[in-house]
Structure 1
Amino acid sequence: MLIKEVKIHLIEMEGKRPIRTMFVIPGQLRSQFDRRATPGHEPNQLCFIRVITDTGIEGWSTAFYTWGPARAFAETWLDAFRHELVGADPLDREYIFQKLWFANRFNWLHPWNMSYADVALWDIAGKYARLSVAKLLGAFRDRIPTYVSSGNYPDPERFVEFGLEVQEEGYKGYKLHSRLGPEADIQVARNVREALGDGFTLMHDPVQIYTYPEAVQVGRALEELNYKWLEEPLQEWDITALKKLCDTLDIPIAASEWVFGGSHHVATLLAQGAADIVRGDAIVSGGITGLMKVAHVAEAFGVACEVHERGPMFCFAHAQALAAMSNCEFFELNGVNPKAPTEDPLVKNPIQIEEGYLIVPQGPGLGVELDWEEIERRTVEVL
């Protein structure tokens, strides 16, 4: 079996592509920045990637981040990866992973771009073997406790309102993405704990905006409020400060979500004692292959690998990977409607959540069933 062709469908989605701008967060010791999105004017298009073999088996993926018009991304991605994939055996995933990993240096692209190819290769392998990706990896479970993450709301009361919605739907936890400055974040954390009660699992992720003293201040408050972990409190590259923070605080520090060295960086981070929990996902870590490497490194150090979520198609990829991990406690649903968290107009079988547990799809490959009529209706161009 060989890869015959690689195609990208540009698919029209709802709304317009947002305009993202940075702004200064008030109330901090030094200028720290956050990002806000406002409605744009250009079409909101999704890059749907098809890796097609000479047997007719296809592997699928979607480009979650394009950082610009989808067509420009698709042309760049195909120019970098199509000739590396066509003619290759799709079952030689490790060989292709290593080749694309080293190619990142020469392609001048974010390392996550290779991840889209890797996910499609795992989809092919599962379909070829007539097994789910989880079974190929060596399944550990078929249900995963699930929590929901908030947005960063200008109105602090919205964190409480959304948390109550999450709790009412039966999820196993709630993570705050409050980035209002340390004093305001502490008050939000306190209000949410009071509203949701002492027994409900809570986490806090300020997305790297604190200075070290601010991280200590917030961390101490979260310890008193019995939060489960403090995630991305500092810039991910600042290993010295992260180690100092881990040594200072009792609350576990989760780090490594937004670094591009994959398992290599995670090994360094853990060897330095600069994280109590590591983060990974099937985009930033280098696909399912790279994510499993991160999880296994973390397992060797005796720590959890909690996985970040990246949208509908990667919801399937992450479900399959997490089903084969013994050191990941939760599945994250990020920025979703708690009542319908996995709905996707392109998917016939959205992943099911039952009583706060994600049910791992058991179909071959990623287990996704696409609505091809809807894909064809929305496709504006195939490259």
Structure 2
Amino acid sequence: MESSPAPPTASPVDWDLAASTAARLCAAGPRFTRHQAEREAVGLRRAADVSVEHVHRITRLEAARDLRDSEVLVLDRPTWARANVGAFSTLLAPAFEHVQQARPAEYARATQGLGTAATALEAGAVLAFMSSKVLGQYEPFCALPGPDGTSTGPEGGRLLLVAPNIAEVRVELNVDPEDFRLWVCLHEQTHRVQFAAAPWLREHLQANIMELVSGMFDKVDTLPERLSARVRALLKGPEADPQSVEEGRGSAELGTDDHPASMGLLELIQDPEDKKRLARINAVMSLLEGHANVVMDAIDSSVVPTVKTIRQRFDHRTSTRSSVDRWIRRFMGMDAKMQQYRDGQRFVKHVVRELGMDGFNVVWASADNLPGEQEIHHPEQWIARIRGQD
């Protein structure tokens, strides 16, 4: 008699509910005729293809010479949200499996009752909000092996371009369509090249995330109290949050060099060990975002004729958000994302200035060459460490 297949592992998140919630709550984007939608998709695919050559020229990474490692997908908002639910479930599956084996009693409690639905509703709402803000995204984790060891996507991940958002921002800024598409794709294709140049990076990040998730399960009992405290602090405004005090080149919205902006909801469930784990992840994300920004800044009018206008209008748009939008971004940790762009960009520019692009590119050779959080803020320390390896 054949044995029955093992039941699927229970998850602390009802991913199907998260996906349906996200799709249902997504704000309606600009209306396209079929012809307009096709033209937008064709334009974005062309820009994604053209941008690879420029990323190769600027980064000098051989991985960008003939980049065929992954898919390029042009999506609407609900499809982007559902794609991210799938990516999160794939990314977190090994972490959840590890927690289930290490702490079966805790895990069982976390996967019973209304908690899985509540988490799914929250995740769906967050992704629905994000779906109207994200222009593009390189998703590396969709291809990682699932719990049964099988592949869950294309081998090299996916480049996601959210067509209605790119079109909406372009119209708002009143900039050249072709130039704006290329400008956006340059940043996102740089992320694609990073993971192609460092094929070990996906597994490295997932291992660190698994440690963080596992550690967070130790503190779940205190989450409601810490969440309430954080909400109260945010409602009182920036003056109630010592991390958002304006100082130096920082601002009340985005934090300072010494006091980075809020990390959002993750900040609620960290003890000192969790903070160390998150710091390692944050340092890598700062590197990736900063490097992509440096590539964008290296583009001049010979490649994107209206690049100066695009930068000026995009920066102005970022600085004039409504107070409600700014509050939501701070609560969700999106301002911390902007801090990553700046921290990482300063690091990359300093290293390239001192070592040249080829000298900087040793960062992609192995996990040992990644900068730590301290080194992101003090790139001379990373340079000294790398030089000591010669």
Which TM-score tier does this pair reach, normalised by the shorter chain?
under 0.3
TM-score, scaled relative to structure 2: 0.27
TM-score, scaled relative to structure 1: 0.27
